Structure 1
Amino acid sequence: MSMQQFAGGNERFIRRYEYDDSWVIAADVGLDEDDIDVDIVGSTAIIVADTGERVTETEFELPSAGDASIDIHNGVLTITIQK
């Protein structure tokens, strides 16, 4: 397993883990599942967050295109991409 960690301007962390059969992206979004929409288009993740006061959209490139699963639990967004 290898890991990379990034911090955005607001100090929310994104971690990327590489396993033999998958990539896992974990991001501290601090939102409930009802407040966030995630779409995967090719190798791009598009995240739209609606807090009721403000709507923000963020895009970032995934390590590869492939079958992806998305989970949000306790404010942590996890995207798993099969290699």
Structure 2
Amino acid sequence: MDTQQFAGGNERFIRRYEYDDSWVIAADTGLDDESLDVDIVGTTAIVVAETGDRITETELELPGEDASAETKNGVLTITVQK
């Protein structure tokens, strides 16, 4: 397993794990699950976060097309099959 970790200016972490059969991207958003929406289009994950009256959209380039996303307790997990 290979791991990479990135921290943004607000100390939120994004980690990428590489396994034999998949990549897993995990991001601690600090938001409740109802405030996050994720759409996967081709090799791009579009993450929309709603905080109060502000909506933020972020695009993540994925290493493949066979991807799924889920949120649980403010952690966004995207799994991409190799």
Q: Mind listing any 5+ residue stretches in structure 1 that lack a counterpart?
A: none
Normalising by structure 2, we get a TM-score of 0.92
Instruction: Give the aligned residue type for 2:80.
Output: I
Instruction: Give the aligned residue type for 2:64.
Output: S
Question: Percent of aligned pairs with the same residue?
Answer: 74
Q: Is the 8 A contact 2:44 2:61 kept in 1?
A: yes
Map 1:40-59 onto structure 2 (within 5 A). 40-59=40-59
- Report the Cα offset of residue 22 of structure 1: 0.6
Helix, strand or coil: the match of 1:72?
A: strand
Normalising by structure 1, we get a TM-score of 0.91
Residue deviations 1:19-78, cap 9 Å, x none? Answer: 001110000111122111101111111100112221101111112222x22111111000
User: Cα RMSD over matched residues?
Assistant: 1.0
Partner Cα distance (2:8, 2:43) in 1:
20
Task: Please name the residue that 1:70 is paired with.
Answer: 69
Helix, strand or coil: the match of 2:31?
A: coil
Task: Please name the residue that 2:32 is paired with.
Answer: 32
Task: Count matched residues.
Answer: 82
- Report the Cα offset of residue 14 of structure 1: 0.4
Partner Cα distance (1:7, 1:63) in 2:
20
